[in-house]
Amino acid sequence: HLAFLLPISFMVPTVFRTPQALEINLSPDKEAQTQIAESNLLQFRVLSEDKVYWKKGPKTDPWVRTSVAALKDVLNPLRNNDKIVVLINIDREAKFNNMVSIIDQLDIVKLDRFSIIELSPKDKAEVVNL
């Protein structure tokens, strides 16, 4: 009887985690386009080895290198700004966990307007040597 009571005594006080899901809303029209002011666009280019480049605003602004963990310093000043739209270009070589971490950080600062696309070779070449 003791063999059955011991595992039960550990299992009873254990709180089992409920599964968490990420809700993504997709546009029903694949050809739909939304006009966004360039000053409200925050872009990330996520490469392998935890390399992230970001810039906000006009195309002429320079790219800034950071890491996934340090993105919170970039995102905190933009907290609750419903005008900001985030474009995440992610390389196929990047870790899936990095994308999830970025989405989590966006959720923390309440930036819920974002798009995720594959990083093109041309866009990767623009930042890889910075």
Q: Kindly give the confidence (pLDDT) of every residue in the chain, 130 residues in length, as a single tens digit, with 9 standing for 90 and above.
A: 555 555 656 665 656 666 666 566 666 666 767 677 788 889 999 998 888 999 988 777 889 999 999 999 999 999 988 889 999 999 998 998 898 999 999 999 998 888 888 999 999 988 888 7
Written in H, E and C, the secondary structure of 7-56 is HHHHHCCCCCCCCCCCCCCCCCCCCCCCCCCHHHEEEEEECCCCCEEEEE
